[in-house]
Amino acid sequence: MSERILIIDFGSQVTQLIARRVRESGVYSEVHPFNSVSVETIKAFDPKGIILSGGPASLTNVDTPRAPDGLFDMGLPVLGICYGQMAMAEALGGKVVSSDHREFGRAFVDIKEDCELFHGVWDVGSREQVWMSHGDRIDAPPPGFRTVATSEGAPFATIADDERRFYGLMYHPEVVHTPHGAKLLENFTHRVCGCAGDWTMAGFKEQEIAKVRAQVGDGKVICGLSGGVDSSVVAVLLHEAIGEQLQCVFVDTGFMRKGEAEEVVNMFREHYNIPLVHRDASELFINKLEGEPDPEKKRKIIGATFIDVFEEEAVKIGGADFLAQGTLYPDVIESVSFTGGPSVTIKSHHNVGGLPERMNMDLVEPLRELFKDEVRKLGRELGLPENFVGRHPFPGPGLAIRLPGGVTREKLEILRNADAVYLDAIRNAGLYDAIWQAFAVLLPVQTVGVMGDARTYDYVCALRAVTSTDGMTADFYHFDMEFLAGVSNRIINEVKGINRVTYDITSKPPGTIEWE
């Protein structure tokens, strides 16, 4: 088993970033909610060190989260960040108070003493930029700790107990606004915890192949291909692990982009020699959806139809013992809820959920521990072509959720053509890789235009392009006006049915990436 770091989550918005940074330092890490961790589970996980995350609560209330009992007696190194630092300080006999000097955003720390965390990056006497976000602060550090950095609002901005290998930071090293934060975390994992930093994608691949073989035995696995990166990486990995025990099924909903279905089928059949059932169900999907304008109902119809078709195909090939899915790490992390209530459903994402119970199959999810960019790295490791691995994400319900107002064959065709022109222009301008996702939306609105000497009365097309690291938040992409003017021109000239183009300048939040 690879060396690992356990991150205990107190509910900070940026806990996942700690996991990313630690992995970037070559050490495997997992995030677990504070209320699911005990000395026993920690022993079973066998980490080289523990990181306590930040969190929104206040330690000055008695019923807010605390570190697990016995954690500080385990002999493991601990790094507390913000709330985590205060939880550590309080547990070890320090004092936490609410402060009238809140620090939020960019701040500066003065480096007072040497510290293992600062090795090779911060020198005594320097002033360094960090990112703070706290109301409470430590009033007295616990016995055994020295103060190695201070800031205006946090006199104990960094504390260290070298003997027990306990360290506390009031600021967030995981965010990019602490420019040297990644190095501080690497110093913790490598120098304090003694990790070698040898967690690599090649190693992960071998480990997962062995795991899949052990899980599946001589059983049969069915894998639903969507044309996206995640399910393709799963399919290629499984093919390498279990060869002919894998059966891939590609259900073409008819909501794919131009040329996409052919591309996927060719790649798997010809390039990889992976057997693939290709079911063209586009008529069925369009018929079921025709006339339905409600976004949630559309999503539900597509999800249910998908499962029906998939099941039919699965039965035809004699069923399977396992269903393989491209579930990623952000989908499986339980977020800590302080209200205890369920979170609101913004939109129902479509996947093959529901099928395993119906068909009595177990799940195989080899990507459950990876972030999106790590999946791309694994794809490269498996030899998937660069232009495939770098593809923008594409939602399961496809173009159907980019047609507000309802799907018709005519609108689907117009949208598919506009989308193809838009992506072609983005590729030609060399912008594809700088953008997380770009697509066209066809609005259920017709406007008057003039082309040549004639009046037109055609649809409006909205263009969307965003940058993001994980799809959870996003900024609209700042194209230059020349590019937008050019692409608008091309769409109106090349796509019959559109006479007006707009650009969506909404970020997420308050918008979402897709329009439905």
Q: What are phi and psi of 291, to 5 degrees?
A: 85, -5
Applying CB under 6 A, does 514 fall inside the site for ligand XMP?
Answer: yes
Q: What is the DSSP letter of 502?
A: E
Least Cβ distance, residue 440 to ligand XMP (angstroms):
13
Position among 93, 275, 385, 393 found at the interface with ligand XMP (CB under 6 A) = 393
Q: Whose CA is closest to 312, among 358, 377, 364?
A: 358
Catalytic site residue 174? yes
379-414 per-residue burial string, b: 16 or more CB within 10 A, e: under 16: bbbbebeeebbebbebbbbbbbbbbbeebeeebbbb
| Segment near ligand XMP (CB under 6 A); pick from 95-103, 152-160, 167-175, 391-399 | 391-399
Alpha helix positions (H), 193-254: 201-216, 229-242
- Count of residues engaged in binding ligand XMP, rule: CB under 6 A: 13
> Residue 333 and residue 270: Cα distance in Å, rounded?
36
Applying CB under 6 A, does 347 fall inside the site for ligand XMP?
Answer: yes
| Segment near ligand XMP (CB under 6 A); pick from 91-99, 142-150, 157-165, 342-350 | 342-350
SS3 assignment, position 439 = strand
Q: Whose CA is closest to 10, among 2, 22, 1, 18?
A: 18
> Looking at 90, 103, 115, 172, which residue is catalytic?
172
x-or-dash string of contact with ligand XMP, 416-455, rule CB under 6 A: ---------------------x------------------
Least Cβ distance, residue 512 to ligand XMP (angstroms):
3
Position among 396, 412, 423, 441 found at the interface with ligand XMP (CB under 6 A) = 396
Catalytic site residue 311? no
> Residue 351 and residue 445: Cα distance in Å, rounded?
30
Q: What is the DSSP letter of 199?
A: -
Position among 155, 404, 471, 497 found at the interface with ligand XMP (CB under 6 A) = 471
Applying CB under 6 A, does 395 fall inside the site for ligand XMP?
Answer: yes
Query: What are the tokens at 116?
Result: 């293992």
| Segment near ligand XMP (CB under 6 A); pick from 47-55, 152-160, 267-275, 347-355 | 347-355
Least Cβ distance, residue 382 to ligand XMP (angstroms):
21
Judged by beta carbon, residue 489 or residue 512, the one nearer ligand XMP is 512
**What residues have CB less than 8 Å from 121, skipping those under 6 apart?**
180, 183, 184, 187
Position among 266, 287, 493, 512 found at the interface with ligand XMP (CB under 6 A) = 512
Position among 297, 349, 409, 496 found at the interface with ligand XMP (CB under 6 A) = 349
Least Cβ distance, residue 347 to ligand XMP (angstroms):
6
DSSP of 340-358: -SPPP-S-----STTHHHH
> Looking at 174, 186, 208, 369, which residue is catalytic?
174
| Segment near ligand XMP (CB under 6 A); pick from 24-32, 390-398, 408-416, 444-452 | 390-398
Question: Which residues are paired to 29 by β-bridges?
Answer: 5
| Segment near ligand XMP (CB under 6 A); pick from 28-36, 44-52, 126-134, 395-403 | 395-403
Applying CB under 6 A, does 508 fall inside the site for ligand XMP?
Answer: yes
Judged by beta carbon, residue 171 or residue 255, the one nearer ligand XMP is 255
> Residue 190 and residue 179: Cα distance in Å, rounded?
19
SS3 assignment, position 463 = strand
| Segment near ligand XMP (CB under 6 A); pick from 90-98, 163-171, 364-372, 388-396 | 388-396
Least Cβ distance, residue 513 to ligand XMP (angstroms):
3
Q: Whose CA is closest to 22, among 198, 189, 205?
A: 189
SS3 assignment, position 52 = strand
CA distances from 360 to 74, 320, 327 (A): 42, 9, 19
Judged by beta carbon, residue 44 or residue 346, the one nearer ligand XMP is 346
420-436 per-residue burial string, b: 16 or more CB within 10 A, e: under 16: bbbbebbeeeeeeeebb
Catalytic site residue 271? no
Applying CB under 6 A, does 300 fall inside the site for ligand XMP?
Answer: no
What positions carry a catalytic annotation? 82, 172, 174
Contact residues: ligand XMP, CB under 6 A: 347, 349-350, 393, 395-397, 437, 471, 508, 512-514
